[in-house]
Amino acid sequence: MVITMINNKARTPFPFQVVLVFLFCAWLAGCASNKPQIKMREETNFAALKTFYVQPPLNSFNPTLEEHMASTITTVLQGKGLTATGEEDADITVGFFPSSRVEEGGSSVSIGLGTGVFGRSGGISLGSIFSVPVGEQVTEYQNLQIEVVQDGEFIYSAAGSAELEASDSITVQQALTTLVETLLEPFPANRAN
Residue pLDDT, tens place only, 156-165: 999 999 888 8
Write down the pLDDT at residue 145: 93
User: Helices 169-184 and 63-79 sit at what angle, rounded to 10 degrees?
Assistant: 30
Provide the domain limits for residue 91.
37-113+126-184
Is 6 a domain residue? no
The pTM (predicted TM-score) of the whole model is 0.65
Total count of domains within the chain: 1
Nearest Cα residue to 179 out of 191, 166, 164:
164
Asked, for residue 74, whether it belongs to a domain, the answer is yes
Tell me how far apart the alpha carbons of residues 61 and 14 are, in angstroms, rounded to a whole number. 51
The pLDDT score that the predictor gives to residue 169 is 84
Q: What is the pLDDT of residue 139?
A: 77
- In this predicted model, what pLDDT tens digit does every residue of 26-69 receive, in sequence order? 333 444 346 899 999 999 999 999 999 999 887 777 888 889 99
Q: What are residue 106's DSSP bridge partners?
A: 136
For the chain, residues with pLDDT lower than 50 are: 1-9, 12, 14-33, 106-134, 193
pLDDT the model gives residue 167: 77
Q: What is the CATH number of the domain that holds 135?
A: 3.30.160.670
Q: Is residue 3 assigned to a domain?
A: no
Domain contains 2: no
The answer to whether residue 16 sits within a structural domain is no
Q: Give 112-168 as a DSSP string.
A: E-S---TT-TT----S-EEEEEEEEEEEEEEEEEEEEEETTEEEEEEEEEEEES--S
